[in-house]
A and B are shown apart, each in its own frame.
Chain A
């Protein structure tokens, strides 16, 4: 049986980049970077992995990130997995992902326990109303940022708006189950994008 675990690691060592000494070092590094990431770990991950530790080149990081963004799952967790996998196969992937999750999980559950205890205090309830309002704004703001990138989408801006508005109505207003909505609309959109890309390629060549 061939294992691909070691092969990826050798390729990267050959580039002359720095590399982690052990899965334990990966665990520690990812714990430290997760603890610095309030409200978004990607920026911190880029600084630590590329600039500080130099485990990845800028290009390698961008490649990992763009793949992480297409796949389901938290982007930053996928980045941790793929980075760990490059160096120590599945052991590295596990070490990096646990580093990212374990201590932050303990902290967040600690806060949740405190919240549960004091949720009836008017000031605490008020603070969480305020933070909840901001949280909603953060999500909408992120959506707006992503929306400005739709200009270069092969489906064209108008189709993108139509697709985005339709799924919003189906999920937010009609409260339809996401699975079916996404399967139907997602496959329609991907098929349409595919035909557009194919015509464009044919036109180019």
Chain B
């Protein structure tokens, strides 16, 4: 059942797991590159829906990865890809929690943190860009920009925004 493609994909997700500083959404642009552009396992619409579904559901947002796996290969795909994205980072976190406890003021730890901060911002912007351009047309960009502004400047509950987007879309306005 596991094709060579899937082994490659899972290997890539194991690697992405270690790069996912700031959460899996930070590396979503690279998941799009591999799953949509290279392997055509899912479509642009499915990619965008996976992230929307995870954000509209309770629980950690990393579950969007499980939804993409499900769309590509059913329940087995969902579980396999979720384990791949979680296992390395989880193992690392467990060891680092014990190791890093007393070392959080070390120069190298602080330098790593400082160096990574703008990377995380740039990568989140890249994910936002990929998500926004995964949807055809340009009307929706108004909604995207408005949402970004509200998230940045207000304390409006995220769920309110997602539901509002769903309603506007269902009415055919997006």
Contacts and interface: CB of A to CB of B under 8 A. Distances in A.
Contacts of B62: 74, 77
Contacts of B2: none
Interface string A71-88: 111111110011001000
Contacts of A125: 45
Contacts of A187: 115
> Main secondary structure on chain A at its contact with chain B?
helix
B15 interface: yes
Interface string A94-127: 0001001101110111011101100100111111
A119 B52 CA distance: 13
> Main secondary structure on chain B at its contact with chain A?
helix
B49 interface: yes
A177 B31 CA distance: 10
A178 B31 CA distance: 10
A64 B100 CA distance: 10
Interface in B118-145: 118-132, 134-135, 140-141, 143-145
Contact of B30 (A123, A168, A171): A171
Interface stretch (A13-21, A29-37, A50-58): A29-37
A81 B169 contact: no
Contacts of B39: none
Interface residues on A, range: 35 or more
Contact of A150 (B117, B166, B168): B117
A41 B77 CA distance: 25
B92 A126 contact: no
A191 interface: yes
A182 B119 contact: yes
B132 A133 contact: yes
Interface of A: 4, 8, 34-41, 63-64, 66-78, 81-82, 85, 90, 93, 97, 100-101, 103-105, 107-109, 111-113, 115-116, 119, 122-147, 149-150, 153-155, 159-161, 163-168, 171-172, 175, 177-179, 182, 185-194, 196-198, 201
13 contacts: A63-B101, A66-B104, A74-B61, A85-B97, A101-B59, A119-B49, A129-B135, A130-B168, A130-B173, A164-B121, A164-B125, A168-B125, A179-B30
